Every structure is written in C-alpha cells, then in structure tokens.
Amino acid sequence: MVLPILFYGNPILRKKCSKINRFSYYYKKKINNLIKNMFDTLHKVKGIGLAAPQIGKNINLFIVDTPYFNGYNIEIYKEVFINSKIIKTYGKKYKYNEGCLSIPGVICSIKRKSDVYIEYYNKYWEKKSKTLTGIRARVILHEYDHIKGKLFIDYLSSKKIKLIKKKLIFIMNKQNL
C-alpha cells in the first residue's frame, strides 16, 4: 500500500524518533507491514530512501533502495534500518546535490563526510553494523537525519535559505490543500 508522504512544515518531521520495542511480537508484525508499505511508497515515487517520520510515524525506522538513483554508478543497495545509531562519521567532506521526498522540487548542494559507521537491526531483527562510503553513506546520513528531526536544508546557509524560501512556503501550503 502506498502511504502519503508528509511535506516540509509538518511538525512530525522535526521530532526526534522513538526506538521500536523489539520484544513486542505484535509490534514486530505491524512494523513488518509498515516496512512493506514504505517500500511500496518508495518505489511508487522512485525515491532512494524513506524515513518513518516522512509518513507520519515517529519511530526509528528508515529504508534505502537505490535502483532509481541517477547520476552515480553504484550497485543497487537495499536495506532496512531499525533502531539505528550512527557510531562515527569520518573521511573527507564533499558536496553533492541532495533532494528530499518531503521537500519536492528543492535540490541543494550539501556537504557531508564520505564515510559512516552505523549500528542497527535489519528487517529480521538481527543486530548489524556496517561501514558505508561515498553515495551510500550520504543516503544513510540523509535518512538518519530524519530520525533526529533534521532536514537536509538545515545544512544550508541563511543566504541559501532565503533563495529557496518561496519554494518552501509553497510546499508548506501544499499540505493544507
């Protein structure tokens, strides 16, 4: 089932997310269904990452799937991140254009570190840890920011925010239609 995506201005996008109780069987079942719906949604809009707050759920869950990623030659990467925690970001900072399903039509050059070490549970509730580099790290960092109530535009200078302010106001008003 395709879920509605929340737009910039919705207060849920600015909240820090809660951990998911991994010991609740009932909740696990609901989470598995939510994950399936998140992938349905992501594929419908041809995105590469989606975090639970973007669909109105204030929980530490995000997914990545990169078959629609244009402009970068990478292998398809598909993963579920439950109760994720970034342990370390490192490497050289570099700029790359980012966009967001919650801020449609806005693409900005954002500077992020090239490498990330993250711990999480996968969709089978197996504890995992991984080091990701380059564009994969960038996607993880972008989605993880959603879990912390942060958006990619928060990395922009006030001058750049002024340049996109009309677009942001339009997006905020769009959700009230």
**CATH (domain of 166):** 3.90.45.10
From residue 92, give the alpha-carbon distance in Å to each of 95, 110, 116, 131: 10, 13, 11, 15
Q: What is the pLDDT of residue 168?
A: 92
Do the domain assignments include residue 2? no
Q: What is the pLDDT of residue 1?
A: 93
Total domains in the fold of the chain: 1
Q: Which amino acid does the sequence have at 156? A: L
What band does 77 get if pLDDT is binned at 50, 70 and 90? Answer: confident
What is the pTM assigned to this prediction? 0.91
Cα–Cα distance for residue pair 88/118, rounded to 1 Å:
7
Do the domain assignments include residue 26? yes
71 Ramachandran zone, left/alpha/beta (phi>0; psi -120 to 50): left
The sign of the CA dihedral 132, 91, 18, 128 is positive
Do the domain assignments include residue 1? no
What band does 177 get if pLDDT is binned at 50, 70 and 90? Answer: very low
Residues known to be catalytic: 143
pLDDT in tens, 111-145: 999 999 999 999 999 999 999 998 899 999 999 99
Do the domain assignments include residue 5? no
What band does 172 get if pLDDT is binned at 50, 70 and 90? Answer: confident
The parent domain of residue 57 ranges over 11-174
Do the domain assignments include residue 103? yes
User: Among 19-33, 66-80, 84-98, 114-128, where is mean pLDDT lowest?
Assistant: 66-80
